[in-house]
Amino acid sequence: MDDDATFDGSEKILAMTVNIVAAYVGNHVVPMGDIGSLIADVHTVLRNLISHNPVQDNLQAERLKPAVPIRKSIENGLLYCLEDGMKFKSLKRHLMTHHNMTPEEYRIKWNLASDYPMVSREYANTRSKLAKNMGLGRGRKKR
């Protein structure tokens, strides 16, 4: 009997889970206590993608409840973190230091648009004006 004949769908999902988790853990710092939930989450997502079970999709969506409604996460010159509800002018460092996630991972996790800001508009404008006043962003003077 051929080994491929016994390699059914559940074994393929398990193999893909192992590969994905190994690659992720190889490139990210993951606390030992979080590895089990990471494996379970990856396995569940892969199983749902392959079987596309709408009931599981709804359960997964209910489980991911942001700390702040997404619509209200950008207010008054501040950005609110959907993970913990804290407010910031810039989210990038907070995401890396407290949640071990890149802005891209954050956007994917919360199903945000690719242009969802990581820096408040007011803060970006203030920093831009400061840089321009310092003479940055201009071409070199001709001699």
Q: Name, in order, each residue with C-beta under 8 angstroms of 60's C-beta and a sequence gap of 6 or more.
A: 44, 45, 48
* Burial category of 86 from C-beta neighbours within 10 Å (exposed 0-12, middle 13-18, buried 19 and up): middle
Beta carbons of 99 and 111 less than 8 angstroms apart: no
The letter for the amino acid at 140 is R
CATH for the stretch 67-138: 1.10.10.1550
**In terms of pTM, does the model score above 0.75?**
no
Rg (CA), the chain: 21
Q: Which of 53 and 5 is assigned the larger pLDDT?
A: 53
Convert the pLDDT of each residue in 2-51 to its tens digit.
444 444 578 899 999 999 999 999 999 989 998 998 999 899 888 878 77
pLDDT band at residue 78 using 50, 70 and 90 as cut-offs: very high
For the chain, the maximum distance between any two Cα atoms, rounded to a whole number of angstroms, is 80
Where along the chain do its domains lie?
7-63, 67-138
